[in-house]
Amino acid sequence: MRERNRSFYQALPEFEQSGIAATQEAIEVIEGARKKQVLYALFKIQDGVIVPDVVFPGADKAESAAWQRDDAYAKDFKTQVYPNILSALKAAQGARFAIVDFAYVNNEGGVRRNLVVISYCNDKHVKAKDKMMFASSRTGFEAKANVSKKYSANDESDLDYSLLHEFMSH
């Protein structure tokens, strides 16, 4: 009986295991992040589907043209890019998934750029029902993003740059 149930859930598309599907637009934004066309994006659950909420760069690609070089992006990430991500997450009403092209300079002076999925669900500001829906959709979203780094934050202190930097560098 247990084996039968497992194969049933494995047969479902990734997001539909929780009943939450991603829109085609959300899937395209995720693909854009994997191709380094999107530097970061936030996603929310709205009307029973996962949709993009904030995407950078938007339609005007010129706004991020200076960051096409890895070294320039890594140099500016902590002071110019991450504060924008942080303020977008803090301003969000409800839980959010984020896919971020995280950049930093390692101890040897080499530039590293890795995608990370950040699951942010502020325990103090999200209703129990929304937390459960978010949690049940998390695995599917992470699977769709197909990145090796997954970070979970439950309050604003978990979003501190130094914590995320330490996580990314290991």
What local confidence, expressed as pLDDT, does residue 3 receive? 46
Residue 60 has a pLDDT of: 53
DSSP state letters, 43-106: EEEETTEEEEEEEES-S-GGGGGGGSSHHHHHHHIIIIIHHHHHHHHHH-SS-EEEEEEEEEE-
Per this entry, what is the length of the chain?
A: 170
**pTM of the predicted protein model:** 0.83
Chain position carrying tokens 């070294």: 71
Of 145, 144, 151, which is closest to residue 170 (Cα–Cα)?
Answer: 151
Number of other CB atoms surrounding residue 97 within 10 Å: 27
Tell me if the bond preceding 83 is cis, omega within 30° of 0.
Answer: no
| pLDDT block averages, 10 residues each, the chain of length 170 | 40 50 92 91 94 81 63 88 93 92 90 94 86 88 91 94 93
How confident is the model at residue 2, as a pLDDT? 45
Q: What's the pLDDT at 66?
A: 60
For residue 55, the cross-strand partners are 41
